[in-house]
Amino acid sequence: MNAIVQGFPIFLLIFCRITAFFVVAPVFSSRGVPNVFKIGLGFFISFIVFLTYGMKQSIVPDAEYVLILFREILTGVLMGYVVYLFFTVVQTAGAFMDLQVGFAMANIVDPHTGTSAPLLGYFKYMLLITIFLMMNGHHFLLTALMDSYQWMPLDNELFSRFMSGSVTDYLSRAVGNTFLLAIQVASPLIVAMFLTDVGLGFLTKTAPQFNVFVIGIPLKLIIGLFLIVLLMPSLTAIFETLFSIMFDSLEQLFGVVQGPPSEGQ
């Protein structure tokens, strides 16, 4: 009984970080995943982490414990948000593509989040999730979550990093990088649509009798869909690069908050 009383505060801290991560991180936070499964998975992973890491820790549940509990929740949400940022790259790129091709008004409701999503963005997001699961990416996410206790222990310095502005600077750069990646993913179609508009402009000047609005809309749709079919084989390599950047960014977050683990950990 004494061991349970002493270990429960540590277990609760671990459970809060892992559950907060599942609430925000893609795949795990999907509405299609039952809440009972999320809580159960969080409990068992927390129990494993507690047996391997938490047994060596000790904490006094005093008034400061509430702040530590909030810090662990914030740590899990921050990790999940970084992963979520890189999953939204394809949706942002799809929104750019929809705007150029003409699908911008044909948004659909994403059943995973319950929000409106661009047509091409949702299509690419489904491909991203499929490739991510085929590559066992969810296993790598769970491994990164468990390894986070080596980089960011329970006595981490998250609040002081927020005060110094290093976490805010990191998040600003991460958001900027995701927009840059989204533009890079959508750039082939954006450039092709720009050249199509230029060609239609020349057509209007050389043959004013053609109604460019009647010709332009179906022409851009046909060219856009044709380019999407041509770009499909290269999406796997793009997604693999995106996953690599995502895990590198997670490692950078660990380094910003606490730094690399010591040799004794």
List, for residues 64-116, the tens digit of each pLDDT value.
888 888 888 998 899 889 998 888 888 888 888 877 787 766 666 666 666 66
263 within domain boundaries? no
Distances (CA, A) of 235 to 35, 175, 186: 32, 22, 11
pLDDT of residue 265: 44
Average pLDDT over residues 195-199: 86
Burial class (CB in 10 A: 0-12, 13-18, 19+), 71: buried
Report the largest interatomic distance among the alpha carbons of the chain, rounded to a whole angstrom.
89
Residue 242 inside a domain? The answer is yes
Q: Is residue 177 in some structural domain?
A: yes
Beta pairing partners, 109 = 116
Q: Which domain holds residue 204?
A: 2-257
| pLDDT for residue 188 | 86
> What average pLDDT does the segment 191-220 reach?
80
User: What three-state secondary structure class fits 165?
Assistant: coil
Evaluated on CA atoms 249, 65, 17, 149, the torsion sign reads positive
Is 90 a member of any domain? yes
Whether 265 is in a domain gets the answer no
Question: For 30, how many CA atoms within 13 A lie in the half-sphere containing its CB?
Answer: 13
Residues 6+ apart with CB under 8 A from 242: 86, 89, 90, 128, 181
Helical packing angle, 212-231 and 166-206, nearest 10°:
130
Point out which residues pair with 117 in neighbouring strands: 108
Number of domains into which the chain is organized = 1
pLDDT for 1 beyond 60:
no
Mean pLDDT of the region 208-234:
81
Residue 241 lies in a domain: yes
Task: Examine the pLDDT at 228 and tell me if it is beyond 50.
Answer: yes
Average pLDDT over residues 186-201: 86
Q: What is the mean pLDDT of residues 219-245?
A: 85
Instruction: Please give the backbone phi and psi of residue 59, each rounded to the nearest 5 degrees, phi first.
Output: -150, 145
Element (H, E) at 116: strand 116-117
In this predicted model, which residue has the larger pLDDT, 4 or 29?
A: 29
Q: Is 13 part of any domain?
A: yes
pLDDT (mean) for 218-231: 84
Taking residues 16-35, what's their average pLDDT? 84
Average pLDDT over residues 161-170: 84
Mean pLDDT of 129-141: 84
CA atoms within a 13 Å half-sphere pointing along the CA-CB vector of 99: 12
58 Cβ partners below 8 Å, 6+ apart?
6, 10
Q: Is there a domain that residue 117 lies in?
A: yes
- The pTM assigned to this predicted structure is 0.82
pLDDT at 3: 61
Sorted by sequence, the CB contacts under 8 Å of residue 28 that are 6+ apart come out as 21, 22, 38, 41, 138, 141
Angle between helices 212-231 and 64-101 (to 10 degrees): 120
pLDDT at 54 over 50: yes
Alpha-carbon span 159 to 150, nearest angstrom? 18
